[in-house]
Amino acid sequence: MEQNLLLSFMVIIIGFGLLVWGAERFVHGAAAIANNLGVPPLIIGLTVVGIGTSAPEILISIIAAYQGNPSLAVGNALGSNIANIALVLGTTAIVMPLIVKSETLRREYPIMFIVMLVSLLLVIDNHLGRVDGLILFAGLFAMIYWMIQTGKKQKRDIMEKEFEDEIPHISTQKAILWFTIGLVLLIVSSRGLVWGSVNIAKAAGISDLVIGLTIVAIGTSLPELAASIVSALKKEADLAIGNIIGSNMFNLLAVFGIPGLMHPHVIDPAILERDFTFMIGLSIALFAMAYGFKGEGKITRFEGGLLLCAYIAYMTVLYFTAVA
């Protein structure tokens, strides 16, 4: 038993490393392919990069639901959203305060709240079913369409310049190679993470939901953490926050919708009482900090510290939930 548990921890650690690098290579290749096909940088950033940064969560959700662990997938979706705001943006703002200027982000905030509200209403009956999954996926395609149309109509936005600077300029053949390598690594690492996480949950007597909200959520948020810190250091705050908002919307529409489609189930009441409440509260806090009602929005180091403290408090609540 101890050897199996040690192997599970090793697989998770190695899996996280492969996941981070695989996600980066996947987005690198996908963005380069789209750029070589003539897709505008703003559309690439809003759609290709947004979906790419959520690719780890999406693959883990598919594998977990397929293997009969839908609670792990649900926990991954909500836990990643909480980690993205509190852990990722909190840590990033401490490293470098984030100043927000983009008009595109101002339009994405309300959409993010609508997505959260719809997701909450669909599971208010404590059941995530196929109809719920279909509605969420319909919302996913509607959001992608809206983003494409926004990218076409939007006049020069500060985010477009930031996306241009980040898009790799490589040959299509090389881009396809990196895209394929990234996808393979994502699949392999996701399978390993689900296997190891389920083993640890069983051995420790912890629910799949809590494992999804903690270990898996933190691991799948590592690509966002790395990308956000790099963007902040380059003084591309709009890109850092834009990646988080986009990732959170994709997580709810795709990652949260997958277990509904593949493995309909009754959800834990704590999801509504604790996790959704915390996620919505953090999203409101992000809006208040970063929207900029009278000019530029800004997340200061102090506010970043508050977000990080909120995440520590959330992890503490989950710890006492697990040991109770």
- pLDDT single digits (tens) 190-203: 888 888 888 888 78
pLDDT bracket for residue 297 (50, 70, 90)? confident
* Domains of the chain from N-terminus onward: 2-323 (1.20.1420.30)
Mean pLDDT, residues 150-161 taken together: 64
Check residue 81 and give its pLDDT.
Answer: 94
pLDDT bracket for residue 263 (50, 70, 90)? very high
Check residue 136 and give its pLDDT.
Answer: 95
β-partners of residue 266 are: 127
Q: Which pTM was predicted?
A: 0.87
Check residue 121 and give its pLDDT.
Answer: 95
Cα 237 to Cα 76: distance, rounded to the nearest angstrom: 25
Contact assessment for residue 246 and residue 43, using Cβ atoms and an 8 Å cutoff:
no
Residue 161 has pLDDT above 70, yes or no: no
